[in-house]
Structure 1
Amino acid sequence: MSTGHLLLGLLAHRPQHGYELKRAHDSRLPTAKPLPFGQVYATLGRLERDGLIEPAGSDRDGGPDRVSYRMTDAGRQALREWLDAVETPAAFLGGTMFTKIVVALVAADRQTAMRCLANQRAAHMVRMRELTQLKQRAASIAETAAADYSIAHLDADLRWMQQTMDRLDTLDQEMNS
């Protein structure tokens, strides 16, 4: 994910300061990793340096000055180009869960591999239930879309895990050859 482009997108409709941007990120992308304040402000500095945003004013609501930023024309163009660029479908699988399961299949016995798959499957099911509940009380289309996206990926993982569990007899044959 490009934090700079994400912040540009959040600035598309109105000027905002760093705290508002962090809150908007966390509420619009509820299943994403929370965005640290330091990363918000460092990214705003780079965006301003690159001419993609500019200060739009400041206020002091009982605390330190809060500088609001707005997108420049160059920022709108950069956001448009980023949104129009097609992401290359991942050619390689990654992630700790996948690696752990493959290692269990290669380095362990059938029982260990089955336990690893079953434990991971149970964790996925719990997360799917949480996301389904989140979706039912979602306040925005962005929250619903984020939950749907996560559920679809978890569902794909679950189908892969089930297929792998179904193939464990073949694993025994491979390991004993």
Structure 2
Amino acid sequence: MSIRHGLLALLGRGPRYGSQLRTEFENRTGSTWPLNVGQVYTTLGRLERDGMVEQGGTDDAGHALYTITDGGRAELTSWFRTPVDRANPPRDELAIKLAMAVGTPGIDIREVIQSQRRHTVKAMQDYTRLKARALGAEPADRDEVAWLLVLEQLIFQTEAEARWLDHCESRLVRLTLMPETRAADPVSEPAAEPATGTTRRTRD
């Protein structure tokens, strides 16, 4: 998540102070990714160092206001126009957990999958209820529309995760039933038959 670009986008609407930026960021995203004031001011300090924002006076309550610079606007425009890079995806704890569970002694991977599926389905139901509630009252401003978009992304994400978990369980069943996958230790396999791993990959 790019906090710096999110703050630049909010500053693009006009001067803001730190806690105001935090509130608007959380309103726009439905507090899905909450920020603390320390994060906001640390990020503002870096943006100021990089010439993307500058302090520009105070408001009536004495809050120091930050203003986006021309360099900040150029950076923001570039961010909006550049696709999010998927070539180096962030680490996914669930994918790592299942990968490590395969072959770990004493771990029933199907139990791990079923436990996660229950949690994922509950989260999907919760998000769907929130969406129904949001649609019950026509979105009145941009923050509400933005939150609806974030909420729908979370729904699609949990739906995809549930499908992936079903796929993982189905794959495990198929692999368990395939005789050639029951070799206990690759080191003990005859040297003349090293293609077991390749066979598993090509049978799907």
- Give the drift of 1:31: 5.5
- Give the drift of 1:27: 1.4
- Give the drift of 1:60: 5.8
Residues 175, 104 of structure 1: alpha-carbon distance in 2 compared, 3 angstrom cutoff: farther
Query: Which residue among 165, 174, 182 is the counterpart of 1:176?
Result: 182
- The worse-fitting range, judged by mean Cα deviation, of 27-36 and 161-170 is 27-36
- The worse-fitting range, judged by mean Cα deviation, of 92-101 and 167-176 is 167-176
Partner in structure 2 of residue 22 of structure 1: 22
Which amino acid in 2 is paired with 1:121? R
Structure 2 CA distance for aligned equivalents of residues 169 and 82 of structure 1? 44
Cα shift readout 1:121-164 (whole Å, capped 9, x = no counterpart)? 01111111121122233351111110111111111111111011
Partner in structure 1 of residue 104 of structure 2: 107
Q: Percent identity?
A: 32
Q: Secondary structure at 1:34's aligned position in 2?
A: coil
Structure 1 CA distance for aligned equivalents of residues 86 and 117 of structure 2? 25
- Pick the structure with greater CA Rg: 2
1:105–1:171 Cα contact (<8 Å) kept: no
Query: Which residue among 63, 80, 84 is the counterpart of 1:83?
Result: 80
Query: Which residue among 120, 125, 134 is the counterpart of 1:124?
Result: 120
Does 2:65 align with 1:68? Answer: yes
Which amino acid in 2 is paired with 1:147? L
Does 2:18 align with 1:12? Answer: no
Residues 32, 132 of structure 1: alpha-carbon distance in 2 compared, 3 angstrom cutoff: same
- The worse-fitting range, judged by mean Cα deviation, of 88-97 and 120-129 is 88-97
Structure 1 CA distance for aligned equivalents of residues 56 and 81 of structure 2? 27
Query: Which residue among 133, 136, 160 is the counterpart of 1:137?
Result: 133
Cα shift readout 1:48-75 (whole Å, capped 9, x = no counterpart)? 22221122321363xxx41111211111
RMSD of aligned residue pairs (Cα, Å): 2.2
- Give the drift of 1:170: 2.8
Partner in structure 2 of residue 41 of structure 1: 41
Structure 1 CA distance for aligned equivalents of residues 90 and 3 of structure 2? 23
The normalised TM-score by structure 1 is 0.86
Q: Please list every run of 5 or more consecutive structure 2 residues that lacks an aligned counterpart in the other structure.
A: 184-204
- Give the drift of 1:88: 2.2
Q: Secondary structure at 1:70's aligned position in 2?
A: strand
Greater RCO (Cα-Cα under 8 Å, separation 6 or more): 1
Cα shift readout 1:54-106 (whole Å, capped 9, x = no counterpart)? 22321363xxx411112111111110011111222245573111111122233
Q: Secondary structure at 1:57's aligned position in 2?
A: strand
Which amino acid in 2 is paired with 1:32? T
Q: Please list every run of 5 or more consecutive structure 1 residues that lacks an aligned counterpart in the other structure.
A: none
Q: Secondary structure at 2:108's aligned position in 1?
A: helix
Residues 171, 107 of structure 1: alpha-carbon distance in 2 compared, 3 angstrom cutoff: farther
Q: Secondary structure at 2:72's aligned position in 1?
A: helix
Aligned length: 173
1:31–1:146 Cα contact (<8 Å) kept: no
The normalised TM-score by structure 2 is 0.76
Which amino acid in 2 is paired with 1:163? H
Structure 1 CA distance for aligned equivalents of residues 101 and 181 of structure 2? 12
